[in-house]
């Protein structure tokens, strides 16, 4: 699958014009080093959220999760992007209309909370719809995938369900997840989530 992101950032708000890397709090200028350090820092912060989960009330908690995960690396952790992003010629949600997207996603979250916890099919369908909308919003310059997967995990947890959309060394799940988010294929995402959600007490 292609990974050709394009960013309209003429003022180099996020990238160092010399190295091309994202500006970071540690002033790392080597790509592999930044990748390694960022991965380690985020893994540590993810574990903290497993130990002390954030209760999801609305879209504001997506920003709270991003801020928590990336606080050690980027000064803009938890802040909405101010550049336009596209992938393979398809633009993500325009920054000028973010407020409308926030309201819609909050409505979806409210609908999710009303679904009985034993109705896993409907829960999976609503989680897939939320994931599709959050992915299209793509509110951050970097770290959208990791943040939205944790967002969904925490939503599922409120129904006493576990959901791991990024299990280690599972290529099949990764490919189905990527197909679903890239192609906005809610049916694929629903099927995947329904297969993965488990009762917290049985997991």
Domain 5-199 class, CATH top level: mainly alpha
* Inter-CA distances, 158 with 3, 102, 104, 155, 185, Å: 33, 20, 20, 5, 25
* pLDDT band for position 203 (cuts 50, 70, 90): low
| Entry pTM | 0.94
| pLDDT of 9 over the 90 cut | no
Domain parsing of the chain, residue ranges: 5-199
pLDDT in tens, 107-131: 999 999 999 999 999 999 999 999 9
* pLDDT band for position 169 (cuts 50, 70, 90): confident
pLDDT value for 49 = 97
How far out from the chain centre does Cα 140 lie? 9
Query: Mean pLDDT across the stretch 70-77?
Result: 98
Rounded Cα gap, residues 167 and 157, in angstroms: 16
pLDDT value for 168 = 82
Rounded Cα gap, residues 169 and 127, in angstroms: 23
| pLDDT of 163 over the 70 cut | yes
Arithmetic mean of pLDDT over the chain: 94
Query: Mean pLDDT across the stretch 132-161?
Result: 97
Give the count of beta carbons closer than 10 Å to the beta carbon of residue 107: 12
* Inter-CA distances, 172 with 28, 91, 106, 128, 195, Å: 33, 26, 31, 17, 12
* pLDDT band for position 167 (cuts 50, 70, 90): confident
């Amino acid at each position: 699958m292609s990974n050709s992101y394009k960013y309209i950032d003429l003022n180099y708000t996020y990238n160092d014009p010399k190295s091309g890397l994202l500006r970071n709090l540690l002033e790392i200028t080597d790509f592999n080093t930044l990748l390694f350090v960022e991965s380690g820092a985020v893994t540590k912060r993810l574990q903290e959220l497993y130990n002390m989960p954030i209760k999801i009330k609305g879209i504001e908690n997506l920003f709270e999760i991003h801020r928590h995960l990336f606080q050690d690396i980027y000064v803009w952790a938890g802040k909405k992007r101010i550049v336009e992003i596209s992938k393979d010629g398809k633009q993500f949600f325009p920054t000028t209309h973010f407020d409308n997207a926030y309201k819609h996603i909050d409505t979806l979250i409210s609908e999710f909370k009303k679904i009985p916890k034993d109705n896993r099919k409907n829960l999976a369908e609503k989680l897939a719809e939320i994931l599709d909308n959050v992915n299209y919003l793509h509110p951050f310059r970097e770290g959208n995938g990791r943040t939205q997967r944790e967002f969904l995990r925490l939503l599922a947890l409120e129904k006493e369900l576990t959901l791991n959309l990024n299990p280690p060394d599972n290529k099949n799940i990764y490919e189905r997840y990527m197909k679903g988010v890239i192609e906005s294929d809610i049916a694929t995402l629903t099927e995947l989530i329904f297969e993965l959600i488990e009762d917290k007490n049985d997991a």
